[in-house]
Structures are given as C-alpha cells and as structure tokens.
Amino acid sequence: MRIAGTSFTDSMVSQLNLLSTRQYQLQNQASTGQTISAPSDDPAGMALALNLQADNSAVTQYSQNISTLQNRATIAGNALTSLQTIEERASEIATSADGTATPAQLQANASEVTQLIQQAAQLMNTQDGSQSVFGGTASGSAPFTVSTDASGNVTAVTYSGNTDVAPAAVSQIATINVDAPGENNSGTGARGIVSDSRYGADLFNHLISLQNNLLSGNTSAITSTDVQNLSKDSDNIIYQIASNGAAQTRLTAAASFASSQQSGLQQSLSSVAGVDLTQTLTHLTQANNAYQVALQTSSQIMQLQQYVLSTLP
Amino acid sequence: MLGLFNTLNLGARALTAEQVGVEVTGQNLANASNPAYARQTVQFQTSTPTPSSIGMEGTGVEAVSIQQVRNQLLDGQIQSESSVGGYWNSQQTALQNAQTQLNEFLNLNSTSGTSGATTGTQGLSSQLNNLFNAFQSVATSPTDPSARLSLVDSAQTLASTFNQTSQNLSTLNGLLNTSVGNDVSSANQLLSDIAGINGQIAKATASGGNANDLVDSREQDLENLANLVNIQTTSNSDGTVSVSIAGQELVTGNKLSDTLATYDSGGGNLLVQTATSATPLTLSGGSIQGTIDARDGTLAALRNNLDTMASSLITQVNGIYKNGYNLNGNSGADFFTGSDAATIGVNPTVVNDPSQIQASGVANAGGDNSVALQLAQLGQQPIAALNNQTLSGAYAQDVQSFGNALSNANDQVTNYNSVNTMLLNQRDSVSGVSLEEETTNLITYQKAYECSAKLISTVDEMLQTVVAMKNT
C-alpha cells in the first residue's frame, strides 16, 4: 500500500486524540471514584443508580423520622415516669388516711394532693416542640386546664385534646405510633393516659375526690373508694410506661434496620457506579504507555521523512 | 538516420518533457498537506518515430497529458460516509447539550443535610426525593414550623428546577432550529459553488484542457455538502456533476435549478423543502436531518416526559392535598399551581405562611398527619399516567432512554470516525501525495534533464567538429 505524506500525520493525530480521550476518561474515573457520571456513560446503570438513590434517600428520611420519634418517646417516657411517682405518692396518702389520722394531718395531705394535681396537669401538658405530647392530634398547646376555687382547691381538670393519635412512617411498610391521647373515654382507639372509661382510669377526678374527702375528713370514703380507684390509675400508668418502652424498643429495631438497609444501598450504589481503583489505575498506566509509544514512533517517522528530504542533491 | 539537427531536437523535446515532470512534482509537493488535492502524474509518450534505412528510429519523448489520480468509488464512499458523519455528529452535539441542560449527573461524593446522607445527583431526581422526604418530616412532626418551612423550600426548589430545565430545553430547541437554518444556507452556497465550478470544468474540457484542480475543489464542496445533507450525484460526459437531494435534482450541469429552504412545520420547528417548487424533502442523512431528528425525537420525548411527570405530580399531590386541613382548620386549596414543567409552582399562600399547609386529615386537629403521610407515600406509589411507575422510577427510565440515545450517538460517531479514517487512508494511498515518491521522482527528472542537456552539448560539439572540418 502506498502511504501518502498526510496519512502519517492524520493517523497520528487521530490516534493521539483517542489515547488522550481514554486517559481523560480514566483519570476522571480515578479522581471521582465513579464509572458513571452522566446518563450517557451507562444509561441502564444510571437508571439503576437513580432508583438506588431514591431508595437511599427515603431510608435516610426514615432514619430522621425514627430519631424524631425517639426524642418524642423519651420525652413522653420521662413524663410518664414522673406521673407514676405522683400517683404513687397520692396512693400513699390515700392509704395513710385511715381513722387514726388527725384532722390537721388530713388537711396537710389535702393540700399536698392539690399540689400533686397541679404537678400532674403540668406533666400532662408536656410539649415536644410545638406539639403537645398528650393532647392527641388536637391543635393548641395545653390540653389540660386546672380549675380551682377561691381557696385554691382544685375543682376540675378539663381535657381539650382529642382521642386520636398520628402514626409516623419508620420504613416503607411500617408506621409506629409513639403517642397516646391524654384522655380517651370514647370506648375505642388508643388507651387514654389519665382517663379511660374501659379500664376505670380517671386520675384527675380520682385525685380531686381524694382531695375533697381529705378536706372533709371523710376517711371511710377514701378507704372504700379512692384507694381502689387510684390502684386502677396506677395499673393504667404502668401499662402506658410499658407501652412507651415497647415503642422505644421498636424504634431502636427500626433504626438498626434502616441503618443496615442504608449501608446495603450504599454498597449497591458503589458497585453500580463506583470504580475499581486497581483496575482503573492499571488501565490508566496502559493508556499512558500507549500514548508515549505513539509519540515516540511518530517522532521517529518524522525524522525519517527529514532524512528523505536531506537526500536531495 | 535522424541526423545531428534532429538529435538536437530530440534533446530539446526531452528537456521540455522532464521540465513538465519537475513542474508536476512541484505542484504535488506544494499540495502535500492539502486534503482535497489528488496527486497528478505526467503521462509521457515516445514521440513519432522516423522511418530510416535501418528501420524506425525514435525521436525522443513528449509529455502528452497531466492526469489526476482519483478513485471515483472511494470518492463516492467518502461522500456517503460524510452524510453519516454529519448526521451523528449533529445528533451528538444536540444531545450532549441537552444532557448538560438536564443536569442529571451522578455524584456519589456529595453530601447534604444534617444526617450527611448522600444526595447523589444534582438534578430533578434528588429534588423529587427531597420533596417526598419533606412530606415525611411534616408527617412525623405535623405542627413543627421548621418541617413545614423545609417542605415549602423543597417544593419551591423542585418547581423552579422543573421550570429552569423546561426553559433550557426549549432554548435548545430554538438553537437547533437556528442550526437547521444555518445549515440550509451553507448547503445553498455549496450548491451554487458546485454549479459554478461545473461551468468552468465544462469550458476547460471543451477547449481540450485539463480541469484537475477544479475537480479537487468540486470534490471538496460535494463532501462538505454531503456532510450537511445526503446527496446523489451523477457524472456527465462534459465533466460536470449533477446533484440531487431526496430525489430532487438541484444542480444540472452549470445550472442551479432550485435551492433548499426551511418551512415551519408547526410550533416554530423547521423542516426542509425546495425553495421554488416548495416540495417538502424527506432527508435521510447529513447534519440537517441529524439536528431535526434530535429535536423531534429524543429531545421532544424528553421534554414531553418532563411535562407528563410535572403534570402527574401536580394532579396527584393536589388530589390528596385538597382534602387536607391547615393549622387554622381550612381546606380545599391546591399545593402546586400550573399544569406542566414550564408552569409548575407552589401555591403562594403556602409560601407566605407554611401554617397554611394542609397536612391534617381532620379539621382543627393540627397534630393529625394523615394527609401528609399519604403525600409522603405518594412517592412510592405507581401512577397510571406514568405507565404504573412511581414518579422517581418513571424519571429514572426517562433518563435511561435519553442516555441510550446519546450513548448510541456517541458510538455511531466513534464508528464513523474509524470508518472515515480508513476510507481517507485508502484514498490517500491512491490519491495522496507521498513525499518519498515525489522526492525520488524529482531526482529522476533532474538526472534525466541533466543527461538530455549533456546530449545537446555533445551534439553541439559534434556539430562544431563538422563545421571545423571545412576550414582545414
């Protein structure tokens, strides 16, 4: 085959271009750690990567949901433990208010119970950010309102919340409900914390009754009614604490599931779009060598052409 | 016998012939780097012999013609390959531009948010994920103002990315139309040049001259024209070439019978027809058709898919959202405004006051999250308008089919480059100037010239001897 003068330079330029492009691509892959950057690099791989990204992003959001819920569950759990302490003290007072107690003692106990009611109401108005923890899903910040008479005794504690709860998503298929309504006397739905007609729980009214009986010195009513009632309240609070604990356990499990899912997705992503560094660097070295060889042989051929010209007489 | 005078003439003819040889070699060497040039060779022929008593006797050499070394088959192949190259190169350029405008690039190293989660891409895909995540946050903390604010933020970012992408792709569509227009005027210029050169070639051929250099120019024009639009050529006996595009003969000999023009096929999208007869042309290759196919095929599909996705998002989100209640207990408003990728926006009421977000399913129960939860789950749900795919799944598929189109164009351009390089090398091996060959020829002509000059001086000495014989 005849080789024209321009064939050399044309081939050389196109060959060097090809090798430069290859070096550029490999260098880019090595520095970004990715084999896919643009859709055209690997269309199917890109689509897979986008889907994995979407899953990964959703799982990341579930982790955030879980940590928000864990916060709220901890706040609720702490409030419930304190509530339990209040109820225990009230039960102690009720048990001690037998016929042997002096009227002065009963009066003192009555004012302690009043204090306990105020404390309990405060606890039941606990907030997580802008939302009441024990108000159901109702708007407004303080679901429990305490009414007192002229002498400061509590006459009523009213609940302005509702009986609904809002479950939140912790994975694609699971929702967890960490909240319980303050009161639920509707006969259905989540168990109310201080009041639930199904279980005979009605903490505030029972405490008010105790307060009133202490004030009037009606110890027999305390022994016959209030003690039993408060024990139902105690059971209800224990149930709530256990249920809060269970929710926290489920959240911990959901968090570890999300985190293992996340690391699995990250692994899939890097196997789809990530780079095998050893392989890439080896290919890069090969491309570098080929580029150098192409440059060397080209310059040798150029020198030969020079020689041909020098043979002219 | 020739005699001394005729031998002198023989030497003179040889000098002339070798001089032509040196001239042609010079021309070849001068054009060694001109890609349109086909090397020329001198055809030598022994001049008419004279009868003599000892038989026919030679009278030397004559340069009878200068011929161009061309292979028409290779020229034709390069022309048609040029159309293939023009077609795929213009597709590649258009789609690469669209890929940049779509801005969907994977970046495994980017991180954002407090959790340090990878966002992965810079385009619509990650913003769509962010929107549904923001719905999740509102569902988890329905009354939290910061969750509501970040939902408004995500929705606004997504909407403006839709708007921007749609706008960019529409601008690109306009640029492609401009490019079709420019290519058509270039093609017309080339058609007129070819007709002009045809005229000169016909004249040169008629007067018995050679038109080698004009043929080179015309060949280059034909290849440039083929790059723009697929052409059919017919060689005529007078050396001219007729050019047809999509069955319409536009150059006949030295006559330009018609030119190309663009016409609006609707929506400002330009197609090609003949200028005078206004016959729409179905082009099959070349950069004009490549641009048209990129515009009406892949790019149109991408724009259409973005619109479908935006309108599905608007309809689906609003359908659920309308039934929700905001923190003031009001219901019935839309979350997204607009109807497609260009017009999608977030309801300004919500932007001004995130408490207006209708996340609750029950009036006056701000802590209820049922609507926000449904909206968050919408991200995982198949949607009928998107062939029962999720929004992000449908988008990933759109990106994939777009990527396939560009990746195919890239492969085709690579193929074209290697085929074209091979054809050009083949043509160069026939028509290209070889420096070694020409240098060697130069030496041959020079030596032959020197020897012929020697012959003349020898005959001259002989004649002097003859003249000197008379004096003695």
A189 lies in the same domain as A288: no
Nearest by CB to A50, which of B125, B373, B421? B125
For residue A282, the enclosing domain spans 276-313
Which residues of chain B does A53 touch, with a Cβ-Cβ cutoff of 8 Å?
106, 118-121, 125-126, 129
Single-letter amino acid, residue B224: N
**Cβ neighbourhood burial of B32 (10 Å; 0-12, 13-18, 19+):** middle
Does the residue A25 lie in any domain? no
Q: What is the per-residue pLDDT for A108?
A: 93
The angle subtended at Cα B324 by Cα B318 and Cα B330, nearest 5°, is 115
Instruction: Out of A150-159, A291-300, B192-201, pick the least confident.
Output: A291-300
Query: Please, what is the end-to-end C-alpha distance for chain A in angstroms?
Result: 27
Residues A260, A263, A265, A271, Cα dihedral to 10°? -140
Nearest CA in chain B to A135: B367
**Cα-flanking dihedrals φ and ψ of residue B370, to 5°?**
-60, -35
Question: How many CA within 13 A on the CB side of residue A64?
Answer: 22
Question: Residue A241, Cα to own-chain centre: how many angstroms?
Answer: 20
Q: What is the per-residue pLDDT for A313?
A: 62
Which residues of chain A does B85 touch, with a Cβ-Cβ cutoff of 8 Å?
none
Residues 6+ apart with CB under 8 A from B79: B222, B223, B226, B231, B233
A209 lies in the same domain as A240: yes
Answer yes or no: do B121 and A42 touch at CB < 8 A.
Answer: no
Q: What does DSSP say about strands A195-196 and A183-184: parallel, antiparallel, or unpaired?
A: parallel
Work out whether the CA dihedral A25, A31, A35, A40 comes out positive or negative: negative
Quickly list DSSP for B316-347.
HHHHHHTT-B-TTS-B---SEESSSTTT-EE-
- DSSP category for residue B361: S
How many Cβ atoms sit within 10 Å of the Cβ of residue A284?
17
Give the minimum alpha-carbon distance from B460 to chain A in angstroms, rounded to a whole number: 27
Between CA A159 and CA A144 the distance in angstroms is: 5
Between CA A289 and CA B332 the distance in angstroms is: 68
Query: How many contacts (CB atoms, under 8 Å) link A and B?
Result: 250
Confidence of residue A301 (pLDDT cuts 50, 70, 90): confident
Number of domains comprising chain A = 2
Does the residue A96 lie in any domain? yes
B/e letters for A209-247, b = 16+ CB within 10 Å, e = fewer, are bbbbbbbebbbebbbebbbebbbbbbebbebbbebbeeb
In 3D space, the residue among B235, B231, B262 whose CA is nearest the CA of residue B245 turns out to be B231
Does the residue A4 lie in any domain? no
Query: Which SS3 state, helix, strand or coil, does residue A183 take?
Result: strand
A202 lies in the same domain as A284: no
Mutation to test the A interface, candidates B141, B154, B410, B439, most A Cβ within 10 Å: B141
Question: How many CA within 13 A on the CB side of residue B5?
Answer: 0
The pLDDT tens digits along chain B (472 residues) read 778 889 999 999 999 999 999 999 999 999 988 888 999 999 999 999 988 888 898 999 999 999 999 999 999 999 999 999 999 999 999 999 999 999 999 888 765 443 334 445 568 999 999 999 999 999 999 989 999 999 999 999 999 999 999 999 999 999 999 999 999 999 999 999 999 999 999 999 898 888 899 999 999 999 999 999 999 999 999 999 999 999 999 999 999 999 999 999 888 899 999 999 898 999 989 999 999 999 999 999 999 999 999 999 999 999 999 999 999 999 999 999 999 999 999 999 999 999 999 999 998 888 899 999 999 999 999 999 999 999 999 999 999 999 999 999 999 999 999 999 899 989 999 999 998 899 999 999 999 999 999 999 999 999 999 999 876 5
Average pLDDT over residues A271-295: 92
A143 lies in the same domain as A250: yes
Between CA B176 and CA B94 the distance in angstroms is: 7
Does the residue A13 lie in any domain? no
Between CA B427 and CA A50 the distance in angstroms is: 47
Does the residue A290 lie in any domain? yes
Between CA B203 and CA B323 the distance in angstroms is: 84
Query: Which SS3 state, helix, strand or coil, does residue B255 take?
Result: strand
A124 lies in the same domain as A229: yes
In 3D space, the residue among B387, B329, B382 whose CA is nearest the CA of residue B356 turns out to be B329
Predicted complex: ipTM over 0.90: no
Answer yes or no: do B126 and A57 touch at CB < 8 A.
Answer: yes
Answer yes or no: do B106 and A42 touch at CB < 8 A.
Answer: no
CA distances from B65 to B19, B44, B437 (A): 13, 7, 20
A289 lies in the same domain as A234: no
Answer yes or no: do A309 and B439 touch at CB < 8 A.
Answer: yes
Question: How many CA within 13 A on the CB side of residue B250?
Answer: 32
The angle subtended at Cα B116 by Cα B114 and Cα B122, nearest 5°, is 105
What tokens appear for A172 in the block? Answer: 């694609």
Between CA B172 and CA A225 the distance in angstroms is: 83
Between CA B258 and CA B277 the distance in angstroms is: 8
Does the residue A260 lie in any domain? yes
Q: How high does pLDDT run on average in chain A?
A: 91
Answer yes or no: do B109 and A33 touch at CB < 8 A.
Answer: yes
Answer yes or no: do A309 and B435 touch at CB < 8 A.
Answer: yes
Q: What is the per-residue pLDDT for B116?
A: 38
Does the residue A131 lie in any domain? yes
Answer yes or no: do B432 and A1 touch at CB < 8 A.
Answer: no
Q: What is the per-residue pLDDT for B471?
A: 67
Question: Which spans in chain A are helix H?
Answer: 5-32, 43-96, 103-124, 203-216, 219-221, 227-273, 277-310
Q: What is the per-residue pLDDT for B118?
A: 44
CA distances from B78 to B157, B239, B243, B428 (A): 50, 20, 16, 12
Quickly list DSSP for B107-119.
EEEEEETTTTEEE
A102 lies in the same domain as A58: yes
Domain with residue A171: its CATH number is 1.20.1330.10
Residues 6+ apart with CB under 8 A from A300: none
Does the residue A44 lie in any domain? no
Left, alpha or beta for B60 (phi > 0: left; psi -120 to 50: alpha)?
A: left
Contact B44, B63 (CB under 8 A): yes
Which residues of chain A does B404 touch, with a Cβ-Cβ cutoff of 8 Å?
43
Between CA B308 and CA B317 the distance in angstroms is: 14
Contact B37, B219 (CB under 8 A): no
A223 lies in the same domain as A290: no
**Helical axes B391-431 vs A43-96, angle rounded to 10°:** 160
Answer yes or no: do A46 and B113 touch at CB < 8 A.
Answer: no
User: Any idea which residue has 């045809």 for tokens?
Assistant: B198
Contact A261, B117 (CB under 8 A): no
Nearest by CB to A313, which of B364, B402, B443? B443
Between CA A61 and CA A64 the distance in angstroms is: 5
Q: What is the per-residue pLDDT for B121?
A: 58
Which of A235, A250, A267 finishes a domain?
A267
Nearest CA in chain B to A10: B421
Give this prediction's pTM: 0.86
A192 lies in the same domain as A280: no
A308 lies in the same domain as A241: no
Which residues of chain B does A271 touch, with a Cβ-Cβ cutoff of 8 Å?
none
Give the minimum alpha-carbon distance from B63 to chain A in angstroms, rounded to a whole number: 24
What tokens appear for B344 in the block? Answer: 């999608």
Confidence of residue A141 (pLDDT cuts 50, 70, 90): confident
A262 lies in the same domain as A281: no
Answer yes or no: do B402 and A39 touch at CB < 8 A.
Answer: yes
Give the minimum alpha-carbon distance from B139 to chain A in angstroms, rounded to a whole number: 6
Answer yes or no: do A43 and B399 touch at CB < 8 A.
Answer: yes
Which residues of chain B does A136 touch, with a Cβ-Cβ cutoff of 8 Å?
365, 367
A283 lies in the same domain as A260: no
Run of H or E including A143: none
SS (H, E, C) A2-39: CCCHHHHHHHHHHHHHHHHHHHHHHHHHHHHCECCCCH
Give the minimum alpha-carbon distance from B6 to chain A in angstroms, rounded to a whole number: 31
